């Protein structure tokens, strides 16, 4: 157990729908990062939150949004889903001077 919890582990939904992925960071970690891994691809950075504030943005589509709540958990919202959004979505958390820890991911399948 890495200490970073992601729910749900698997999600199957139809095109056009909206889903929410949840991440609870490791205790004490202030930063949360979201990454997307499509088939045979590396992990693509989507967005980072630090202590509730958006800190950095990567290749995140406008149909996607995220937030970090006062208790530091984060949610990634994916809307108007397309077949190409099917991927593994990973959350990671970190604390200054310490490294990243990844959760086990949410596998999203859009049918």
Assess contact for 93 and 5: CB atoms under 8 A. no
Assess contact for 68 and 49: CB atoms under 8 A. yes
Pairing of strands 87-94, 106-110: antiparallel
Q: Does 64 bind another protein (CB under 8 A)?
A: no
Shortest spacing between CB 74 and another protein, in angstroms:
14
**Residue among 5 and 67 whose Cβ is closer to another protein:** 5
Distance of CA 81 to the CA centre of its chain: 15
Single out the segment in contact with another protein by CB under 8 A; choices: 14-22, 36-44, 61-69, 79-87. 36-44
Q: What does the per-residue mask of binding to another protein show for 14-33, with x meaning CB under 8 A? A: -----------------x-x
């Amino acid at each position: 157990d890495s200490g970073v919890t992601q729910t749900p582990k698997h999600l199957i939904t139809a095109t056009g729908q909206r889903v929410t992925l949840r991440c609870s960071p490791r205790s004490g970690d202030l930063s949360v990062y979201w990454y997307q891994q499509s088939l045979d691809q590396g992990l693509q950075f989507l967005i980072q939150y630090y202590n509730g504030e958006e800190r950095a943005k990567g290749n995140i589509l406008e149909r996607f949004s995220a937030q970090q709540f006062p208790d530091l958990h984060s949610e990634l919202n994916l809307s108007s889903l397309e077949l190409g959004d099917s991927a593994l979505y990973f959350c990671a958390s970190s604390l200054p001077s310490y490294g990243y820890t990844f959760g086990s991911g949410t596998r999203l399948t859009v049918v």
